[in-house]
Amino acid sequence: MRYALDAIWRRPGRSALTALGIGLAVGLVVLLLSLSAGVQTSATALAYASGVDLLAVSPGSNITSGQFPPVSHAHALATSIPGADPNVAAASPWLIDDLAFGNSSLWGAANNSTFPSGWSYTESGTVGWIPSDNTGIETPTIYQGAGFTYPGDPHYAGGNYTGPSTHQIVLDQALAGVLHVGVGDPIWASATEPPSNALLRGWYANATEFTVAGVSGPFWLVPSALLGFVYLSELQQLYGGASSSTDYATLVLIHLTDPTHPTIDQGRISAAFPGLSLYTLGNILGEIQHVVNLYRTFGFLVGAIGVVVAALFTTTVLQMSVDDRSRELALLRAIGCTRATVGARVVEEALILSVLGLAVGLPIAYVGAVALNHFLLGLLPGLPSAFSFVSFDAGVILTGVGAVMALGLAAAAAPAVRAMRLPVAEELRAP
């Protein structure tokens, strides 16, 4: 060990650059691993906290890409699914789509044909649901206002869409801020976008007026920074009228009274509703894991390239070190040291450089992970405060330690062999 340390201190600049190169390579590996681990850990924790035990969608839906063909007879499913499976505590049909929104200020500007610079409508994601059918399912917290007033879905009125429209809407804080509205203020919404500001007056005439019933926090289940919530039938009304043919949803969230064996409920509901595809929470997390694994594989490839480059650089430095100390190594052989002992000295030097690189790489990876997490959270607002894109757990750190040790051993192989094969007599006779 002392001999290896002495060899490192003889060339401090070269040794420092080598350790830095190793550190950067290992830091990159650890950063990429912490990113995939963070997404997986956070997604798993949030999924289990959501209260969603089963997800019902139309056959052919791609849950990872967010492509969901319509689920028909949405209102009936809210009652018929619990009727088919007594373990179902709630079946909540959700219709998720985009609406164009305008506030009263823009309405006034449209009537006067005076538009200040930058004024325009706002497009936002909107959820249509039956608020009282979300028992046990995590929903956004309302910070201002009383929220939805009426139970059920009043406008649906037993299936004939003749009931009164509530015209109530709950906005998340981001959308309320963009529209500059609060509880009790009117806003206008439409499934179609106004072609231009010059045609806004006609757009307002055909849009539906809503009253803001509440302002909520962000909602991670629908990862959008701008989100509104309305009664299911009223969102259906905006998209093509209200009739049995338009009673559709995007998906149905199911909360079980006892979620211990969700596959039993999955089979029971699938048998009762062959037109639905059922996913357990494990199935959904498996799909997420599949996507994460693709990114992890890409990360491994990028990290592997960095490790290989660092290993080649370290090998070159160790070869130079062996050449610089060739007489010393020959002298060690001459006084009785075995070839294995001489080779071990080179391996020790490589491992010490690797440990120094690890001491440099882990802080770099940690600082980089914190910065990357902060950047991504700012880039994707609407995520819960507990969500983290990175996770510096023991598995990630141990993988980094393993990588740096493997790097050191791989880099030391050729220089160690060279040291063991040095011609003793020639080296000692050399001037």
Mean local confidence (pLDDT), 297-308:
74
Q: Are residues 221 and 291 in the same domain?
A: no
User: Where is the domain boundary, 203, 238, 258?
Assistant: 258
Sequence letter at residue 1: M
Handedness of CA 55, 58, 62, 65 (dihedral sign): negative
Helix/strand/coil for 330 = helix
Q: Are 330 and 430 in contact (CB under 8 A)?
A: no
Percent residues over pLDDT 90 in the chain:
26
pLDDT of residue 65: 63
pTM over 0.85: no
- 50 pLDDT band, cuts 50/70/90, is confident
Report yes or no on 267 lying in a domain: no
Q: Which domain holds residue 100?
A: 52-258
Q: Are 213 and 145 in contact (CB under 8 A)?
A: yes
Q: Are residues 127 and 239 in the same domain?
A: yes
Report yes or no on 415 lying in a domain: yes
Beta-carbon neighbour count of residue 147 at 10 Å?
Answer: 18
Q: What is the spatial distance between Cα 407 and Cα 21, in angstroms, rounded to a whole number?
A: 11
Q: Are residues 129 and 223 in the same domain?
A: yes
Q: Determine how β-strand 227-231 pairs with β-strand 122-129.
A: parallel
Q: Which residues, listed in sequence order, are joined to residue 189 by a DSSP beta bridge?
A: 101, 208
Q: What is the spatial distance between Cα 144 and Cα 268, in angstroms, rounded to a whole number?
A: 40
Report yes or no on 128 lying in a domain: yes
Structurally, the chain folds into a number of domains equal to: 2
Q: Are residues 40 and 58 in the same domain?
A: no
Report yes or no on 205 lying in a domain: yes
CA distances to 288, 320, 414 from 44, rounded to whole Å, are 9, 49, 45
Report yes or no on 409 lying in a domain: yes
Q: Are residues 174 and 319 in the same domain?
A: no
Q: Which residues, listed in sequence order, are joined to residue 171 by a DSSP beta bridge?
A: 215, 228
Of these ranges, 31-35, 39-43, 294-298, the one predicted with the greatest mean pLDDT is 31-35
Mean local confidence (pLDDT), 400-413:
79
Q: Are residues 143 and 251 in the same domain?
A: yes
Q: Are residues 391 and 320 in the same domain?
A: yes
Could you give the residue ranges of the DSSP H alpha helices within 192-338? 200-206, 232-238, 262-272, 281-324, 326-334
Report yes or no on 263 lying in a domain: no
Q: Are residues 226 and 318 in the same domain?
A: no
Q: Are residues 234 and 374 in the same domain?
A: no
